Amino acid sequence: MPEQTKLLASALSPGPNALSGKSLSVTGLRKSYGGTTVVDGVDMEIAAGEFVTFLGASGSGKTTTLMMLAGFTEPDSGGISVDGRDITRLNPGKRDFGFVFQQYLLFPHMTVAENVAFPLQLRGVSKAEIRRRVGETLEAAGLSKFAGRKPRELSGGQQQRVALCRVLVYRPPIVLMDEPLGALDKKLRDQMQTEIKSIQRELGLTVIYVTHDQEEALVLSDRIAIMKDGRIEQFDTPRALFERPRTPFVADFLGAANFLTGKTEDGGADDCTRVRLDTGGVLTARSHPCVPGQSVRAAVRPGKLRLVGAGEGCCSGTVETAVYVGSLTRITVRLDGAAPGTQPLRIETAIVPPRPGERVCVTADPEDVSVFAATDGG
Ligand SMILES: Nc1ncnc2c1ncn2[C@@H]1O[C@H](COP(=O)(O)OP(=O)(O)O)[C@@H](O)[C@H]1O
Ligand SMILES: [Mg+2]
Q: What is the pLDDT of residues 158-202, one digit of tens each?
A: 888 899 889 888 888 999 999 988 878 888 888 889 888 888 888
Residue pair 277/313 in contact (Cβ under 8 Å)? The answer is no
Question: Which of 224, 243, 262 corresponds to the end of one domain?
Answer: 243
Residue 180 lies in a domain: yes
- What pLDDT score does 341 carry? 85
From 184, 209, 243, give the residue that closes a domain. 243
Query: Which pLDDT does position 181 carry in this prediction?
Result: 87
Q: Is 56 in the pocket of ligand 1 (CB under 6 A)?
A: yes
Ligand nearest to the CA of 59: 1
Q: Is 101 contained in some domain?
A: yes
* CA distance linking residue 362 with residue 316, whole number of Å: 6
Q: Cβ(157) to ligand 1 under 6 A? A: no
- Once rounded to an integer, what is the mean pLDDT over residues 141-165? 90
**223 and 252 share one domain:** no
Same domain? For 29 and 155 the reply is yes
- Pick from 171, 181, 346, 173: which is nearest to 257 by CA? 346
Q: Same domain for 234 and 284?
A: no
| Any atom of ligand 1 within 6 Å of the Cβ of 62 | yes
Q: Are residues 167 and 202 in the same domain?
A: yes
User: For residues 164 and 305, what is the distance between their CA atoms, to the nearest angstrom?
Assistant: 43
The answer to whether position 274 is within a domain reads yes
Within-domain flag for 196: yes
d(CA 120, CA 133): 9
Report the residue among 38, 208, 253 best suited for mutation to probe ligand 1: largest number of ligand atoms under 8 A from its CB: 38
Q: Are 211 and 359 part of one and the same domain? A: no
Beta strands 174-178 and 206-211 are: parallel
Question: Which of 177, 186, 164 is closest to 220 using CA atoms?
Answer: 177
pLDDT band of 286, cuts 50, 70, 90: confident
Tell me, yes or no, whether 194 and 167 share the same domain. yes
What is the spatial distance between Cα 242 and Cα 255, in angstroms, rounded to a whole number?
Answer: 8
Domain span at 206? 3-243
Nearest to 99 by CA among 2, 175, 205, 196: 175
119 lines ligand 1 (CB under 6 A): no
Q: Please, which pLDDT band fits residue 10 given cuts at 50, 70 and 90?
A: low
Same domain as 210, residue 134: yes
Q: Are residues 36 and 178 in the same domain?
A: yes
- Distance CA(313)–CA(369), nearest Å, equals 15
The total number of structural domains in the chain stands at 2
Same domain, 148 and 198: yes
174 C-alpha to ligand 2 centroid (Å):
19
Residue 378 located in a structural domain: no
Q: H helices within the chain, ranges in order?
A: 3-12, 62-70, 92-95, 112-122, 127-140, 156-168, 186-203, 214-220, 238-243, 248-253
- Is residue 106 in a domain? yes
On whether both 85 and 220 belong to a single domain, the answer is yes
Whether 318 is in a domain gets the answer yes
- Indicate whether 293 and 160 sit together in one domain: no
| CA 65 – ligand 1 centroid, Å | 10
Q: Whose CA is nearest to atom 12 of ligand 1?
A: 38
Q: How many CB atoms lie within 10 A of CB 331?
A: 26
Report the percentage of the chain scoring pLDDT > 90. Answer: 59
Same domain, yes or no: 153 and 280: no
CATH code at position 63 = 3.40.50.300
Residue ending a domain, among 243, 276, 294, is: 243
Distance between terminal CA atoms of the chain? 39
Shortest-distance atom of ligand 1 to CA 227: 22
The CATH number assigned to the domain holding 306 equals 2.40.50.140
Tens digits of residue pLDDT in 65-123:
999 999 999 999 999 999 999 999 999 888 889 888 776 678 999 999 999 999 899 88
CA 148, 150, 155: angle at the middle one, nearest 5?
Answer: 110
Cα distance between residue 141 and residue 12, in whole Å: 10
Confidence of residue 269 (pLDDT cuts 50, 70, 90): low
